[in-house]
Amino acid sequence: MVKIALVQINPVIGDFANNCQKIQSWSEKAMAHGCELVIFPELAISGYPPQDLLERKSFLDAHDAAIGKLIGDLPALDVMFGCFEKRAWLNGKKLFNAAVVARGGRIVFRAHKRLLPSYDVFDETRYFEPGVPSELYTLHDNHFGVTVCEDVWNEEVNEYDTDPVDELVFHAGKNKKTMHGIINISASPFQRHKEEIRLSIFQKISRRYRLPFLYCNQVGGQDSLLFDGHSLVMDGTGTVVAQALGFQEDMIVVDSSCWQGDMHQAPQVTEDAAVYQGLVMGVHDYVRKCHFSSAVLGLSGGIDSALTAAIAVEALGAENVLGVALPSPYSSEDSMEDAKKLAENLGCRFEVLPISELFDCFRHSLAPLFDGLGEDLTEQNLQARIRGNLLMALSNKFGHLLLTTGNKSEMAVGYCTLYGDMSGGLAVISDVPKQLVYQLAAYVNRKREIIPSRIITKAPTAELKPDQTDQDDLPPYEILDQVLELHLEQGKGRDEIVARGFDGQMVRDILRRVRLNEYKRKQAPMGLKVTTKAFGFGRRYPNVQNFQE
C-alpha cells in the first residue's frame, strides 16, 4: 500500500509559471512526507475556468509548454494533476478536460472528463469533448478509478445518460482487476449547503462500491466564483478519514494500508462561518489577483456597508482599507457616529466627505429644466450618484479598488442606483440576502462588538429623504427574502409562491421588480457567488422581455 497526498492549490488563470511552481513545490513536500502519489485539482495548470482563453492558440501552446517543463522537473513520485489536452479528430471540440499522471519525466496515465456541465456557471460543452472510459490508474499493485469533477455528480444533476463511476467499476470487474479506490479531481465552486450535498454524493459512491473515495478540490477566488477546497478522503464505509482546511491552500496525507490520514478541518463549521470565510477569501483573491493592494468603500452607518467593511479588513488588513462617510442633508448624526465607531473598531482609516454643497449645486444646475416639478426619486438618486463619483475619484487617485455594498435583496428588486451606490469594481455582498447579512453581522460580533449594536438593531434606511426607511418601498425583508429565494433559487412562479401563503399582489409586484431591473444588474460590478443562483455569470435572462408570471 502507499501514502497519498492531496493538495488543494489556489491557481491564477493563465499564470502557468506560478501554477506549475505550486505543483512543483507541493510535490516536493509530499515526497518529503514519504508519499508515492500526490494529487492536484482539475485544470490545475491553467486554473479553472479559463473560458474563452481556450479558444486562443497562444494560450494552448503556452499551457502545453508549461506541462513539458513541469514534468521534467518533478520529484520522483507520481504526480496527478488536471489539464486540458488537444484532440486529433477533425469533428467535435478541440480539447479534452483531462486528469494525467506524470512519472519519470513523461505522462504515464490519462483520463478524460466524461460529463461536461452546461448549467448555472458551467459551460464546458462550449470548449471540451466528452471523454471515453479510461483504464484504471495503477501504482504498484493498487488500481484506482480516476474521475474529473462532474463525473461523480451524475445522480445529483440527473441530466446524463451515463454513469462514469459505475462504468469504471464494471470494466475493472470484467478485466478481473480489484479496484482500491476512486479518485476525483475537482474545481467545484462553493455555495451555501453545498458541502453537505457533496458529502452525501461521496458517501453514496463509497458505500455502494465499498471503495475509498479521494476528492481533491481547487481553492481560491476566481472572478465571482469561490472555491472552498475541503478536499477529503473517505474509507469504504463512507467515513471521512482525512480532510483539508476550507478556503486556503492545504495538503493532507492518507495511508492506504489503513485508510487513515490528516484531519485539518475544524469540526462543525457553521454555514454562516463558511459563507463569511468564502467572502473574505473572495475579496482577498480578487483584489490581489487584479493587482490592487487596497480598497475604499462608503460607510453609511448601515449594516450592509458595515459587513462589507468587516470583510474587507479581514481580507486585506485594516491598513489597506479606507472607509468614507458621505453625509447628505438627510444623514442622521447617529449614522455618522456609527460609521466612525465601526471604523475605530476595525482599525481602518476613516474620512468624511460631506455632499450637501455638491447636492445644492446639482439642484441649482438642473433647476431651469426642473422648474415646476416637485422633488422625487430623481433627487434621491442624485445623492447616490454624487457619492459614487467621489468614491470613484478616490479610487482613481489612490489606486484603491472601490467595493460596493448592496445586498442581494436590493439588487433583485432594483433598490439601488445606477452610477451611484452601484459604482465600483467588486460587489462583495451582492449575492447575500438581507436576512443573511444580519446573520453574518452576528458572526462578525461573535467574540466582541465590532459592528456597533445600533447598526444591527435600527431600521434599514437609505437616508435619501426625511424619515425614510427601506420598508416604505419594500415588504419586510424576512418576507421579501423568502419570496426571492423561491423565485430566484428554486425557480418558482407567481402561482406557486402564492400557494405557499404569500399575498398575491405583493408577489406580483416583487416579480415585476425583478423582471424590470434586469438591465440594472447587467451594469453592476461583478459579485461573489454564495447561493445556488447568483446574479451575473450563471443567470442568463434578457433585458428586453415581457413574460409576466
Residues involved in catalysis: 42, 113, 149
Going by C-beta distance under 8 Å and a sequence separation of 6 or more, which residues neighbour residue 28? 75
Q: Which residue has the cell 469533448?
A: 129
Q: Please name every residue paired with 184 in a beta bridge, in sequence order, or none if there are none.
A: 147, 215
The three three-digit cell numbers of residue 381, written as one number: 438618486
Among residues 78, 39, 85, 36, the alpha carbon closest in space to that of 64 is found at 85
Backbone phi, then psi, for 232, in 5-degree steps? -155, 165
Q: Which helix (H) or strand (E) holds 377?
A: helix 377-398
Q: Could you tell me if 315 and 297 are in contact, meaning their C-beta atoms sit under 8 angstroms apart?
A: no
What distance lies between CA 355 and its chain's CA centroid? Answer: 35
Fill in the DSSP letter of residue 135: P
Q: Which amino acid is at 199?
A: L
4, 8, 6: which is closest to 281 by C-alpha?
8
**Is the peptide bond preceding residue 11 cis, with omega within 30 degrees of 0?**
no
Closest CA to 243 of 268, 276, 270: 268
Q: What share of the chain is helix, strand, coil (3-state, %, to 5)?
A: 40, 20, 40
| Closest among 314, 325, 234 to 280, alpha carbons compared | 314
